[in-house]
Amino acid sequence: MELDRPNLSYIKTLADGDADFEANLISIVKRELPKEKEAFLESIREQNYQNSAEHVHKIKHKISILGLEKSYDIAIAFEEELKNNNPSQLETFLNILQNMEEFLKTI
Amino acid sequence: MKCIIVDDEAAARAITKQLCKKIEELTIAEEFDNAIDAIKYLNTNTVDLIFLDIHMPTFSGFDFIQTLKNPPLIILTTSDRNFALDAFEYDCVVDYLVKPITPERFAKAVARIKERGSVTQKVEEPVSNNSDETTTTIGNDLYVNIDRRLVKINVPDICVIEAKGDYIKIKAEDKNYVVHSTLKKIEEKLPSHLFLKVHRSYIINTTKIVDIEDNSVLIKQDVIPVSRANRKELMQRLNLL
């Protein structure tokens, strides 16, 4: 499945020319995302899918901050599936995370 | 308006702060990454508005609201659309913002707070009794402007009115109302034979008093402070044995 590409459109709209805010928000996302990903992966390893759903819920906001509308919808569906103990979309979700991480390295 | 932000996600707090910066009336006093610290802060500080995340570990936004005895206005922020109905069960919740929050939607939420209202007018003009001002009566209905609607409150049902910054909270028998107004303004619209200002932040309906102690009265389940200066008038009003 082809995923959408991250972008700074939302961040730039919020910043409205405020470069400090833009830099600060990007740095927060760079700092928070790896921690949230690690907590998510740990819950998957423990097969605690209810907990995984909580982590996806939190990561979802980062997905939207990076302008990933299609990926955001996938995350919503994945969160619901995890609540039903179904991790079948794990690989797609991991691809989304990888997509975001690679983008964050470029900015 | 003095605001606080409660959200466990730093990115979300940064975004809310940025959105607030664009609106002159909003001042962020503090931000918290958990509800417990926010509760501790509110024990000793008052605020007009809370931007509150629903989804927080161990202590959710809804748990937080339920711990507040007199909650200020609250705008909920969440990544989940499913809680909207639950959210509006609370009188203090003004709006429900789904992340990612856009500047336009944020501005609309703030406008709702401004429109939450001011006491407008009573339906009936005062029936003047020239002989004694304190017996001046008004009709039984008070209309308040809440979310662009004029909501009717039956005046005798009002138990307590509490000042909360730029707002007043009207506690009636069955429902509470938060209105953009002052105690002074509403005091002028209430019948003085029923209502008395007993403290700089409280007007009470004297017929609703259950119990009186030295410096407080009990109305329903609320303990209302009575200042020393107002105690004498309160005691004169009561039918004491």
Which pLDDT does position A63 carry in this prediction?
Answer: 97
Listed residue (B26, B35, B85, B84) closest to B60, CA to CA: B35
Task: Select the residue from B18, B23, B77, B81 to test the A interface by mutation, using most A Cβ atoms within 10 A.
Answer: B18
Q: How far is CA A104 from the centre of its chain?
A: 11
For B82, counting Cβ atoms within 10 Å of its Cβ (0-12 exposed, 13-18 middle, 19+ buried), the class is exposed
Asked whether residue A41 is domain-assigned, the answer is yes
Angle at B199 between CA B121 and CA B73, to 5 degrees: 60
Domain B2-115 and domain B124-237 have a common topology: no
Listed residue (B31, B39, B33) closest to B4, CA to CA: B31
What one-character-per-residue DSSP string does B80-97 give?
A: -GGGHHHHTTSTTEEEEE
Tokens standing for B112?
Answer: 């709702």
Per-residue pLDDT of chain B (241 residues; tens, 9 = 90+): 999 999 999 999 999 999 999 999 899 999 999 998 999 999 899 999 999 999 888 788 988 998 887 899 999 999 887 776 677 778 889 888 999 999 999 999 998 887 774 333 333 333 333 333 322 334 678 888 776 677 889 899 999 999 877 778 899 998 888 888 889 889 888 888 889 999 988 999 999 999 888 788 999 888 898 888 888 888 888 777 6
Global confidence as pTM: 0.64
**Do residue B10 and residue A31 have CB atoms under 8 angstroms apart?**
yes
Tokens standing for A53?
Answer: 């759903």
B48, B20 Cβ separation under 8 angstroms? no
Out of B9, B55, B99, closest to residue A32 by CB: B9
Listed residue (B101, B103, B112, B99) closest to B22, CA to CA: B103
Out of A13, A31, A61, closest to residue B12 by CB: A61
**Do residue B22 and residue A16 have CB atoms under 8 angstroms apart?**
yes
Asked whether residue A70 is domain-assigned, the answer is yes
CATH of B124-237 given 1.10.3470.10, 2.40.50.1020, 3.30.930.10, 2.60.120.10: 2.40.50.1020
Asked whether residue A1 is domain-assigned, the answer is no
Asked whether residue A13 is domain-assigned, the answer is yes
Label each residue of B176-221 as H, E or C: EEEEECCHHHHHHHCCCCCEEEEECCEEEEHHHEEEEECCEEEECC
What is the number of structural domains in chain A? 1
Cα–Cα dist B182/B169, whole Å = 10
Domain around A30: 9-106
For B2-115, CATH gives 3.40.50.2300
Listed residue (A73, A67, A72, A71) closest to A7, CA to CA: A67
Which pLDDT does position B233 carry in this prediction?
Answer: 85
Asked whether residue A4 is domain-assigned, the answer is no
Closest-CA residue of chain A to B8: A58
ipTM: 0.94
**Domain ranges across chain B:** 2-115, 124-237
Tokens standing for A95?
Answer: 């691809």
Which pLDDT does position B139 carry in this prediction?
Answer: 60
Closest-CA residue of chain B to A76: B80
Beta bridge partners of B213: B216
Q: Is B164 helix (H, G, I), strand (E, B) or coil?
A: strand
How crowded is the C-beta side of A9, counted as CA atoms within 13 Å? 10
Which pLDDT does position B148 carry in this prediction?
Answer: 64
Within 8 A of B15 by CB-CB distance, chain A residues are 14, 25, 65
Mean pLDDT by 10 residues, chain A (107 residues): 92 96 97 97 96 95 96 95 96 97 96
Beta bridge partners of A100: none
Using the structure block, give the residue that is written with the tokens 């406008």: B111
Tokens standing for B32?
Answer: 């918290």
Q: Is B53 helix (H, G, I), strand (E, B) or coil?
A: strand
Which pLDDT does position B85 carry in this prediction?
Answer: 65
Which residue type does B63 have?
D
Give the minimum alpha-carbon distance from A1 to chain B in angstroms, rounded to a whole number: 24
Contact residues for B41 (Cβ-Cβ < 8 A; gap 6+): B4, B30, B32
